[in-house]
Chains A and B, each alone.
Chain A
């Protein structure tokens, strides 16, 4: 199994508070991704990174920001959490870009009250 951890694994927060989720990998993979999983939608890409300090938006990036200061860490920040951001968040990694297999972390369940 790919070495990917996510923290926290569960979080309950209130509307309007900032929240940061962390993804840590030990595989030295170049690409890292953040997805959210919601019923009826499968998984949707929020942001991804193709190297240290190199990030780009996915299809559902509004309300989220990311940072990657080290190869192994990719942070997802909800600037001001809303109830619509209640979801399960998955981090994924891949060694190369197009076509490479993405391996997923265990997920973070976030509830925004």
Chain B
């Protein structure tokens, strides 16, 4: 069955530290998409990235980078030189082809606290 695991419930770092948020997924499909969303303390959900299963190229966007490894079913997210504004809950999500519900399957989220 499809599943997304974010084993880190909470992470606390000091500003300017690098931090990696782990995401491990399970799926039997060969075609799927992976997503990361950010939920700041204000509560909205902000889309960060989408990656399809055929594109294992890592991506960098400013201080954010994502490492997709099909061999380990992982899609990890690294923030370089963290800032207080990065404090949020981060969700990893999976979308599988062929599912009747066309749903996103979310992990339980990782709360990142960046201390000044």
Contact = CB atoms under 8 A, between A and B. Distances in A.
Interface of A: 31, 33, 35, 40-45, 48, 50, 56-59, 88, 90, 92, 97-99, 101-104, 106-107
Contacts of A97: 102
B44 A104 contact: yes
Interface of B: 4, 33, 35, 37, 43-45, 47, 50, 52, 91, 93, 95-104, 106-109
Is chain A's interface secondary structure helix, strand, loop, or mixed overall? strand
Contacts of A88: 43
A101 B96 CA distance: 13
Contacts of A104: 37, 44-45, 47
B43 A59 contact: no
23 contacts: A35-B104, A42-B91, A42-B106, A43-B93, A43-B104, A44-B106, A45-B103, A45-B104, A56-B101, A58-B101, A58-B103, A59-B103, A97-B102, A98-B33, A98-B95, A98-B97, A98-B98, A98-B99, A99-B52, A99-B97, A103-B47, A104-B47, A107-B45
